[in-house]
Amino acid sequence: MTHDAASPPYLQVDDLRVRFNTADGEVRAVDGVSFGLQRGRTLGIVGESGSGKSVTSLAVMGLHDPARTRITGGISLGGRQLVGLSDGEMRKLRGRDVAMIFQDPLSALHPFYTVGRQLVEAYRTHHPEASKAQARKRAVDMLDRVGIPQPDRRFAQYPHEFSGGMRQRVMIAMSLMNDPALLIADEPTTALDVTVQAQILDLLADLQREFHSAIVLITHDLGVVSQVADEVLVMYGGRAVEHGTVAQVMRGPQHPYTWGLLASIPSLHGDPEVDLKPIKGNPPSLINVPSGCAFHPRCAYAMKPEPCAAQVPQLLAVQADGHRVACHLPEQQRIDIYTDEIAHVGVAQ
Amino acid sequence: MSEALLKVRGLTKHFAVRQGATGAKASVRAVDGLDFDVHAGETLGLVGESGCGKTTTGRMLVRLLEPTAGSIEFQGRDITTLGRRAMRPLRQDLQIIFQDPYSSLNPRHTVGKIVAMPLEVNGIKPAGGVKARVQELLELVGLNPEHYNRFPHEFSGGQRQRIGIARALALRPKLIVADEPVSALDVSIQAQVVNLLRELQRELDLAFVFIAHDLAIVRHFSRRVAVMYLGKVVEIGDRADIYERPRHPYTKALLSAVPDVTAFGEQRQRIRLTGDVPTPLNPPSGCRFRTRCWKAQDVCAAEEPPLIAREGSAQQVACHFPEAVGVTSEHVSEVAA
């Protein structure tokens, strides 16, 4: 990215591949994804169910079951290689250097323990020298910092005593207990109402300014991405199909799948009488990914059989600095199609 | 205007619950006195956040829930207290599509049987036979009629929602209550289903009550929109009025909270509501929105504002201090503390 090109990315993912063995065959959940992210920046990973966006983030957290998962490629965090680390080594990093916020805070928090106890545990795991009183103070401070009123009293309450939005704040407080340099948020606001979602997104942006962490935000909601992310990675069928700044991807998208997403979502401002332009068909099965470009069976512009159905397109740089697209169509043709056919439909308008 | 197809007056649903260790009786006031009309062939959108009562309302409209008070008039006939048997012929005209395309289809029945069920239950023998009618319906919703003998698990989420729509259409209804019909679907599939519903509406002159939390989808699909908060309609009006000239503070806040791709890069004035929606077990006195409203005064706690049209506008708003007519949403100046 053009931004502060001198500083190396904190998170660097290189040709990541994640495969699962199932009774039905091998699932290629992530199939060669590469990206880098600096501290202080937010990357939105966008895709539909089965695109590999959550699997990518779980690989960074080292949360896959090694018995049935094969991970190859590189994941480097602050210069340290994570792929191949033992469970014990990964446990030292998890929560301290990289923390995660899940979609559903009710199932991510233990129902049987007070939130205070869970926060204290998160802190003392990585700060064994800290006294209980110090850990408690840290927990109350963090609850206060994420905007929970009466943090002293709330410290002693159980997860079920919090509303959905407040529970997500507890999750965020817990993820920040050890000042992680990388925060992964997997659909952090999907379960929340829109007015509460706005509060949580504002909070994440504030905290990022304060802690200068890198954030990976996984979501299916392009609106959320456009509001909080600096960069966007669009995934389809386990691969990255487009990567660039939010401005590049939202204002001048070059991959037909990204066009499809933008033309599928109604806008709050466009002409409501104009029909949406959905992507035909269904997302692919990851056990039997289509040959060549995984999107070609649903792509209105695919050149078949060659090259779209035969060769996997590489994620290549386009003219705009830092913008990368994996599509066989020539760049000028992509720009023309977007301008002529897509730019006036749905939120793309 | 012609006589309304559906007339709802004072519709109310309170659920009895027991609270705390003593088991004291209390009631959840899920829906608390709704008035609205739906005309033939039009769509009324119901929007609001979780707990506002929109789903409960939808279920009462098709009599899956018994209202506590109020009346529902369909085609000029009061159906509020009709028994099962008396309701049956009306069910032909009044159908529902559910949110979850997984739990709303019987996994042991074939698609053919699922779509034929309304015909069978109502003892209808279509000319040309049940199978031909079912295949016609499958084709209408964009499914392969050859898949008549398949089971729900063989279909994707979007296809299952199409099966639910085919079932709702089997009796040629006049009104369909669609409760979050696309929120369980992926973005690209949502658009397919929304387009399908719009096509069917144009072809079959269907009226819809379209229930959703997604404001952009409701705007895309509904001519008129009612905004609900804690069991009340706080504002109702034409789409353009609600979205371009909202008069209730809650409507304005709701619209400004939507993360909108088109607003990317612009510095919008945003209204940030603090706190959460209060519990419907013990809703605030007076105006229920006052605890989160930046305009609230003493009168808001003392008196409940009626839902009325003001100053020659058809848009109805329940607020003691509504926005002036003619103020567009672009001119928002208040920012909540």
Contact B189/A163, CB-based, under 8 Å? Answer: no
For residues B11 and A303, give the distance between their C-alpha atoms in angstroms, rounded to a whole number. 57
By a Cβ cutoff of 8 Å, what residues of chain B touch chain A? 49-50, 156, 158-159, 186-192, 194-195, 198, 213, 215-217, 219-220, 239, 243, 253-255, 257-265, 270, 272-274, 276-277
Asked if pLDDT for residue A76 goes beyond 90, the answer is yes
Domains and CATH numbers, chain A: 1-97+180-349 (3.40.50.300)
Lowest-confidence pick of A299-308, B97-106, B284-293: B97-106
Task: Name which residue leads in pLDDT, A105 or B316.
Answer: B316
- Which uninterrupted H or E stretch holds B28? strand B24-38
Q: Check: CB of residue A258 under 8 Å from CB of residue A50.
A: no
Q: Mean pLDDT of all residues in chain A?
A: 90
Lowest-confidence pick of A45-49, A101-105, B93-97, B104-108: A101-105
pLDDT-based confidence at A236, cuts 50/70/90? very high
Task: Name which residue leads in pLDDT, B185 or A212.
Answer: A212
Task: Give residue B333's pLDDT.
Answer: 41
Asked if pLDDT for residue B60 goes beyond 90, the answer is yes
Q: Mean pLDDT of all residues in chain B?
A: 88
CB atoms within 10 A of CB A189: 25
Pick from B214, B220, B224, B328 the residue to mutate for testing the A interface (most A CBs within 10 Å): B220
Instruction: Enter the pTM of the model.
Output: 0.88
CB atoms within 10 A of CB B175: 23
Lowest-confidence pick of B20-24, B179-183, B328-332: B328-332
pLDDT-based confidence at B24, cuts 50/70/90? confident
DSSP string, A180-218: -SEEEEESTTTTS-HHHHHHHHHHHHHHHHHH--EEEEE
> How confident is the model over B153-178, as pLDDT tens digits?
888 888 888 999 999 999 889 999 99
A272 neighbourhood in chain B, CB within 8 Å:
219-220, 239
Task: Give residue B266's pLDDT.
Answer: 60
Chains A, B: CB pairs < 8 Å: 130
> How confident is the model over A196-231, as pLDDT tens digits?
888 889 999 998 999 899 999 999 889 899 989 999
Q: Check: CB of residue A328 under 8 Å from CB of residue A313.
A: yes
Asked if pLDDT for residue A298 goes beyond 70, the answer is yes
Contact A268/B190, CB-based, under 8 Å? Answer: no
What is the arithmetic mean of pLDDT over B293-312? Answer: 90
Of A67, A103, A50, whose CA–CA distance to A235 is shortest?
Answer: A50
Of B117, B62, B119, whose CA–CA distance to B87 is shortest?
Answer: B62
B200 neighbourhood in chain A, CB within 8 Å:
none
Q: How far is CA B311 from CA B251, B300, B328, in A?
A: 19, 21, 16
CB atoms within 10 A of CB B256: 24
> How confident is the model over B222-243, as pLDDT tens digits?
999 999 999 999 999 999 999 9
Q: Check: CB of residue A296 under 8 Å from CB of residue A309.
A: yes
pLDDT-based confidence at A2, cuts 50/70/90? very low
Asked if pLDDT for residue A244 goes beyond 60, the answer is yes
Q: Check: CB of residue A17 under 8 Å from CB of residue A30.
A: yes
Asked if pLDDT for residue A259 goes beyond 60, the answer is yes
Q: Check: CB of residue A230 under 8 Å from CB of residue A41.
A: yes
Give the phi and the psi of residue B185 in degrees, each rounded to 5.
-105, 155
What is the arithmetic mean of pLDDT over B109-137? Answer: 91
Task: Name which residue leads in pLDDT, A319 or B317.
Answer: B317
Task: Give residue B267's pLDDT.
Answer: 58
Task: Give residue B337's pLDDT.
Answer: 34
For residues A35 and B271, give the distance between their C-alpha atoms in angstroms, rounded to a whole number. 35
Q: Which of A193, A221, A265 sits opposite B50 (nearest CB)?
A: A193
